[in-house]
Amino acid sequence: MLKRSVCVVTGSRADYGLLFWIMKGIQAEPTLALQVAVTGSHLAADFGMTVHAIEGDGFEVSARVDSLLPGDTRAQVAKSLGRGVIGFAEAFEKLRPDIALVLGDRFEILAAAEAALIARVPVAHVGGGDVTEGAFDDAIRHSITKMSHLHFVSNSLAARRVRQLGEDPRHIYDVGSPGLDTVRHTLLLGRRELESRVGISFGKHNLLVTFHPVTLEAGSSLPQLEELLRAFDRLGSEFAVFFTKANADPEGRRLNSRLEQYASSRANCWLFDSLGQQLYLSLMREVDALVGNSSSALYEAPTLRKPAVNIGDRQKGRLRAASVLDCAPRAEEIERTVRAALRLDCSAVKNPYGDGASAPRIVAALKAVTNPEALVQKQFFDA
């Protein structure tokens, strides 16, 4: 039997965590052959060189597309996008996949979609149709939708938006978020094992924090980060704070440098390049709240019944569970909202992003594509 090859593209620890069980499902499906193309921060030492974690999980890396430049100015990020297009053009020419599968809204994923479009490789896109008005990810996500042929969305509102963009309703699948599959299948560790393995100490109250650059706002993201750090100083030493580093967007390295300075001077703070999914989700389960502007606070945290304090506009427009509290990037308001989150009862919270069984649905849809070539030429469907 001739297998159809699916090239899964991953560019960061965040999308890999969502792709993991899809990759496992493709790997186990007799009619499909998994290819893995690694790019972005996976290949950068200052973001943890997380390609090694992918290989450690038993996946063979089919292509390395080293796109990320050392700096984090807007010009350097745009140049990294260009390098990514060149690298993926070469990768797809070598691998010749039947389908390229991408997730989300990162600039390195846009590079893969652009190269696939020119190479006539059909694209399956996970996570289209969402809205995040505070970052350029929003425009990237919709652009990838228009270059894609199969759409695996996380909720019914997203499905409607993808139809509104003129995509074929037959190729839109409301499967839920694959991040919930990871929550469902991961063996989570308790506090004592976490303290031993990660080298942390839990406090009276505990916060898991990720703050990414806000890419569409005028000026720098640093003042917002300073407000967040000032809020932690106001909360005091009874709060243990566990930071994960910002992503590779413009100013990402600058934010991480400030976080290194802050965490190294405080006994109640820890900073991690990348924890990996098991440690990250285990820590999420054990803390009292998530704080920052990461999508994981909206996707995975509600399933673990954890409140989240979402700061600023980076996730503006995204569907929210009742466990998510929004606040402006001002120290006093962040402090007040964190304290409110600790009083929140999340025991009956419902996650709007599905049931944790999206990966089998995605694999089944990929398996059903008997002629990928027929997907390439698309028709615009008027809403």
Domain boundaries along the sequence of the chain: 4-178+356-375, 188-342
pLDDT given at position 46 = 80
Angle, vertex CA 46, rays to CA 268 and CA 313, nearest 5: 70
pLDDT given at position 184 = 93
State the Cα–Cα distance between residues 322 and 352, nearest whole angstrom. 10
pLDDT given at position 355 = 93
CA distances from 85 to 34, 107, 373 (A): 21, 10, 22
Range 188-342 classified under CATH 3.30.70.260: no
Which tokens hold the place of 173?
């699948």
pLDDT given at position 133 = 81
pLDDT given at position 181 = 96
Angle, vertex CA 129, rays to CA 44 and CA 67, nearest 5: 20
> HEC profile for 343-354?
CCCCCCCCCCCC
Q: In tens digits, what is the pLDDT along the chain, a chain of 383 residues? A: 689 999 999 998 889 989 999 999 999 999 999 999 999 989 988 888 989 999 999 999 999 999 988 877 889 989 999 999 999 999 999 999 999 999 999 999 999 999 999 999 999 999 999 998 877 889 999 999 999 999 999 999 999 999 999 999 999 999 999 999 999 999 999 999 999 999 999 999 999 999 998 866 767 889 999 999 999 999 999 999 999 998 878 888 999 999 999 999 999 999 998 888 899 999 999 999 999 999 999 999 999 999 999 999 888 888 999 999 999 999 999 999 999 999 999 999 999 999 999 999 999 999 999 999 999 999 999 98
Q: Is 182 helix (H, G, I), strand (E, B) or coil?
A: helix
**DSSP label of 195:** I
Topology of domain 4-178+356-375 in CATH is: Rossmann fold (3.40.50)
**Strand ranges of the sheet holding 99-103, from the earlier edge strand across to the other edge:** 63-65, 32-39, 4-10, 99-103, 123-126, 150-153, 172-174
At 245, the amino acid letter reads K
pLDDT given at position 130 = 92
- Burial of 53 (C-beta count, 10 Å sphere; 0-12/13-18/19+): middle
pLDDT given at position 1 = 61
